[in-house]
């Protein structure tokens, strides 16, 4: 039994779970801000990466237009 391998696999699993929790938190934050600032349907914001949600959060904070946000999401899809 290789304890180092088991340890690193456990670290990776913990890191992945933490990353997913952060991604979901950012999605909820972006969704809330998006709904407060835009009247359009936010369905196109589903299932993006954590980094994409952070960027979109910044765009919304900077008062970007709906079209700018949509273009960004389309460019990464």
Q: How confident is the model at residue 1 (pLDDT cuts 50, 70, 90)?
A: very low
Percentage of the chain exceeding pLDDT 70: 82
Q: Distance (Å, rounded) from C-alpha 55 to C-alpha 61?
A: 10
SS3 2: coil
Q: Which of 1-10, 21-30, 49-58, 64-73 has the lowest mean pLDDT?
A: 1-10
Instruction: Give one DSSP letter per residue of 32-76, joined into a string.
Output: HHHHHH--S-GGGGTT--HHHHHHHHHHHHTT--HHHHHHHHHHH
Give the pLDDT confidence score for residue 45 in this predicted structure: 96
């Amino acid at each position: 039994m290789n304890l180092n391998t088991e340890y690193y696999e456990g670290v990776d699993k913990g890191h992945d779970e933490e990353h997913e929790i952060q991604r979901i938190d950012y999605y909820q934050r972006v969704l809330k801000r998006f709904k407060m600032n835009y009247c359009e349907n936010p369905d196109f914001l589903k299932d993006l990466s954590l980094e994409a949600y952070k960027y979109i959060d910044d765009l919304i904070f900077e008062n970007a237009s709906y079209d700018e946000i949509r273009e960004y999401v389309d460019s990464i899809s």
